[in-house]
Amino acid sequence: MWLKPVVLRDADLTKRLSAETTVAWCREAILAAHRGELLAPPRAHADLGDGRFAFTAGRLVGRWYGYRSYDTLPTETGEQTVVVHSEQSGRVEGVAVGKEIGPMRTGAIGGVAADALAAPEASTMGIVGCGPQAWMQLWAINAVRTLSGVSVFCRDPETRRRFAANASERYGLEVRAADSAEAAVSGAQIVVLATSSGTPVVDTGAIDGSAYVSTLGPKQIGRAEFDDSLARRAGLIVTDSLPQLRAYDPPFVLRDTEHEKRIVSLGSVLAGDTQPRPGTLFCSVGLAGTEAYLVARLLGL
């Protein structure tokens, strides 16, 4: 009993979770949620004054249940926790603590989505945003497509230059810092928006009509990194969690628009119930239970 729970730290995760493995496991999780085997309720919150805790729970019925907790207080590290219980015993089998698990699974969900929704031959990518989320999107999408050129833009020239240099070195790719968001996405077959902006970050007209577009950043009424022009150009709109999208408060930016009813789940695409189409828009909201799924997989539960 003294061996439980297993405690995993960032180094354990980054060592054992390659992009390929993480994408494959997130794909399993999304399909399990689609089949109703993985319960993934909307996030719960607890108020902490000038910030709050968020809890994203999940349960693989008959196997395990768990959650990730994170907070929005302005701390130095922003560490998060994942807890996984065995369903039969109730015992806490594993605890993961660190900063990596959140971005890794969000990255991997982005990899699953790009694999399912971008053209198989897509090889050019434009990224708006230079933070950890942008970095992990590249990490995951690089594992599902053979990329030949990547452009990245964010407001600070030094930050985008560093992102491009680091990414070139890490992945052996041609990664270029662009002078504008429009220049970054122009001609790209895969477009990733991964900012914390509350207003649209790119002119939709600059995006190729058949490009696959993924949005990671704010997507609530009054605070969104895109507007409905991005939905209008999309032949298909997909999200990793319809319940999470519907639970947004303030509401999802496309709520009560003509586009709202067109949104389908990524699980339905993976299951073959929905056919992918050129020009798809993917709204990443963070399917609950996916972090616990990764930790449970690492523990062999």
Nearest-Å Rg of the Cα atoms of the chain is: 18
Q: Which of 21, 24, 31, 44 binds a second copy (CB under 8 A)?
A: 44
The conformational region for residue 55 under phi > 0 = left, psi -120 to 50 = alpha, else beta, is beta
Q: Give the Cα separation of 242 and 264 in Å (integer).
A: 8
Residue pair 21/288 in contact (Cβ under 8 Å)? The answer is no
CB neighbours of 267 closer than 8 A, spacing ≥ 6?
30, 31, 33, 34, 35, 240
Residue pair 253/228 in contact (Cβ under 8 Å)? The answer is yes
Does 81 bind a second copy (CB under 8 A)? Our answer is yes
Q: Which of 57, 114, 130, 298 binds a second copy (CB under 8 A)?
A: 57
CB neighbours of 172 closer than 8 A, spacing ≥ 6?
none
Tell the smallest beta-carbon distance from residue 54 to a second copy (Å): 9
Does 47 bind a second copy (CB under 8 A)? Our answer is yes
Does 16 bind a second copy (CB under 8 A)? Our answer is no
Q: Give the Cα separation of 250 and 254 in Å (integer).
A: 11
C-beta closer to a second copy: residue 72 or 180:
72
Does 95 bind a second copy (CB under 8 A)? Our answer is yes
User: How many other C-beta atoms are found inside a 10 Å radius of the C-beta of residue 41?
Assistant: 17
Q: By rule CB under 8 A, what string of x and - marks binding of each residue 235-274 to a second copy? A: ----------------------------------------
Residue pair 253/193 in contact (Cβ under 8 Å)? The answer is no
Does 79 bind a second copy (CB under 8 A)? Our answer is yes
Q: Give the Cα separation of 201 and 219 in Å (integer).
A: 12
Considering only the stretches 60-68, 149-157, 188-196, 273-281, report the one whose residues sit in contact with a second copy under the rule CB under 8 A: 60-68
Does 85 bind a second copy (CB under 8 A)? Our answer is yes
Structure tokens, 181: 């968001």
Structure tokens, 25: 């496991």
Q: Which of 16, 45, 162, 232 binds a second copy (CB under 8 A)?
A: 45
Does 293 bind a second copy (CB under 8 A)? Our answer is no
Considering only the stretches 58-66, 106-114, 126-134, 276-284, report the one whose residues sit in contact with a second copy under the rule CB under 8 A: 58-66
C-beta closer to a second copy: residue 5 or 278:
5
Binding site for a second copy (CB under 8 A): 1-2, 4-5, 7, 9, 39, 41, 43-49, 53, 55-57, 59, 61, 65, 67, 69, 71, 73, 75-79, 81, 83, 85-92, 95, 97, 288
